[in-house]
A and B are shown apart, each in its own frame.
Chain A
């Protein structure tokens, strides 16, 4: 192609193969048009005729416009412009579109969670993209581990909650069972909280048993007032507890308790001390208290019956033997004395035979009463059976006279007539006496000696008192009717 002559503007500079004439004017127009495509904010609206007429300029124009349009769309993120022109520029543009579309697709895949995707052969862009995905993978992996940790934690928490829930349900069931047991129990239940100092708990049943009201129960420190002064075991236990908090881990005892009506009743109490497993300090005392008044009374009745004569209510032989044994020991220890006296009513059989056994029983009861009244409280009179009685009279070193006085009171009391129905009956008695420790210091021995002396008193005509002496040289005192 010949070079256009710049200096000859307005005239033909060049004629192309398709016979289009290029003048200085239309070349200038064409260049301005191409500059406008390349540099102006908006593409030129009119295409110069010179561009339209020539196929080469037309091709350049289309390529530049296509390039401009493709770049404009790409700038806005749209890589879909169809590049129609071939060659290096069109190929490069298509490659650019393809690469950017590929990046878009890859990014979408990564955003969708496909972290295996990588970009190849795109220089720093590939490196940066791949580094970003690897960092993302690493971060996600960390997050996944943390999520797994959290899930594990959540699972543990869920299990813990489940365990606690089950525990709470069990506790609720236990509590309900406990409540019902307390409600149904005939025994009273109580609890002292040693750690918090909260007021003690008393079950309703305990209040019913004692007749007390919760408001009126004295504080724990004043509880000793509620126990019977003779309940030494309870009082000692309680005082020890109040002074240093010391208590056995469990205890069980019978005791009397002052009830609201002012009377003492027998109760049975079983308590348990709960300690703090860590500090070993006492935490709570919990216990059960039952009313055993009737049982105690029954036991006392049985006990009395076992040691007393049914007819006269005097101590029987069992209690007499026990008392004698204790009295002998006491006398030995203290250098005191005691008289063991065996007594038989004279001709009592005649009363039974003539007046009947009922009358005989009345007589025995009256004799027993009189004998009981004749002696001191510390002395003992016992009925062995039938018309046989026995006495133990204790006296000090220089109180020989007291024995004589007691004996005299007894004899005198028997002398008075006894009314049985409309009859007045007088009865006498024979006495055999031995002295401890002068005559002997063993219970059986003393009983035997007193019995020997009684036998002698009866043998000399009854209504007499024989003091045992060695070699059967009894001192006999005969009574007058």
Chain B
């Protein structure tokens, strides 16, 4: 797909676009049901795939997840250089926002290679087995978070997924040569 220049864009993302929820939803509050989130994501994916094909749809979702991860890091996490503090902060935030239960399985000393799992994942936990990994948005989301934390690029891949019969989503994140 052709990248568009910013001045030609109508929907260029900014945090302000999320709106003021305290003003806008004084009674209903910030939370909605997981089905609503999944409904929007999967219907969107359906249409994108139908218009642009599976590969492009996955790319769109990875990029969108990465953009979300970057904004999420900026607005919900505090900048730190300590990997332990970063993981702890991310675990707590994901848990409090009911996005998932993050657990780190392994990490090299310079965070070049990380294996992590997400239980009760917002995107996929409970989905029917469909024999392919489906958390492409999560992959992008995790890469966006890690890139903002380390300042380096990551390639994140889901290697186990609820949808492929595993009860936990496992991701590998590899720091790439920029």
Contacts and interface: CB of A to CB of B under 8 A. Distances in A.
Do chains A and B stick together as partners? Answer: yes
Interface of A: 86-88, 90-92, 94-95, 98-99, 101-102, 104-106, 109, 112, 114, 116-118, 120-121
A106 B87 CA distance: 10
Contacts of A92: 167
Nearest to B119: A121
A94 B159 CA distance: 11
Contact of B103 (A88, A98, A116): A98
Interface in B121-178: 129, 160, 164-168, 170
A105 B104 contact: yes
B110 interface: no
A98 B167 CA distance: 10
Given A91-B168, A94-B168, A101 B85 contact: no
A116 B160 CA distance: 28
Nearest to A121: B101
B165 A86 contact: yes
B104 A102 contact: yes
A109 B84 contact: yes
Interface in B33-73: none
Interface residues on B, range: 20 to 34
Given A98-B117, A102-B104, A117 B87 contact: yes
Interface string B93-126: 0010000010111110000000101010000000
Contact of A94 (B88, B129, B170): B170
25 contacts: A90-B166, A91-B166, A94-B160, A94-B166, A94-B167, A94-B170, A95-B119, A95-B167, A95-B168, A98-B103, A98-B168, A99-B103, A101-B106, A101-B115, A102-B117, A105-B104, A105-B106, A106-B104, A109-B87, A114-B84, A114-B85, A117-B84, A117-B87, A120-B91, A120-B101
Given A87-B165, A94-B167, A105 B88 contact: no
Interface of B: 82, 84-85, 87-88, 91, 95, 101, 103-107, 115, 117, 119, 129, 160, 164-168, 170
A93 B134 CA distance: 21
Nearest to A103: B103
Contacts, number: 62
Given A88-B167, A98-B168, A101-B105, 5 more contacts: A90-B165, A95-B168, A105-B106, A106-B104, A116-B84
Contacts of A87: 165
**Across chains A and B, which 6 residue pairs bring their CB atoms closest together, nearest first?**
A86-B165, A114-B84, A91-B167, A101-B105, A102-B103, A98-B117
Nearest to B118: A98
A121 to B, nearest CB: 6
Contacts of B88: 114, 116-118
A88 B84 CA distance: 32
A176 B28 CA distance: 89
A98 B88 CA distance: 17
Contact of B85 (A90, A94, A116): A116
A104 B117 CA distance: 14
A120 B105 contact: no
A105 B107 contact: yes
B53 to A, nearest CB: 27
A102 B85 contact: no
B146 to A, nearest CB: 16
Contacts of A101: 105-106, 115
Contacts of B87: 109, 117
B166 A86 contact: yes
Contacts of B167: 88, 91-92, 94-95
Contacts of B115: 101
A47 to B, nearest CB: 24
A95 B103 CA distance: 11
Contacts of B166: 86, 90-91, 94-95
Nearest to B117: A98
Nearest to A94: B166
Given A86-B164, A87-B165, A95-B168, A120 B85 contact: no
A88 B167 CA distance: 7
A113 to B, nearest CB: 9
A113 B131 CA distance: 41
A87 B129 CA distance: 9
B122 to A, nearest CB: 15
Nearest to B104: A105
Nearest to A97: B105
B95 A120 contact: yes
A148 B168 CA distance: 45
Contacts of B105: 98, 101-102, 104-105
Contacts of B160: 94
A98 B104 contact: no
A106 B106 CA distance: 9
Contacts of B104: 102, 105-106
B19 to A, nearest CB: 31
Nearest to B109: A112
Contacts of B168: 91, 94-95, 98
Contacts of B164: 86
A101 B105 CA distance: 5
A91 to B, nearest CB: 4
A102 B119 CA distance: 12
B92 to A, nearest CB: 9
Contacts of B107: 105
B115 to A, nearest CB: 7
A60 B130 CA distance: 21
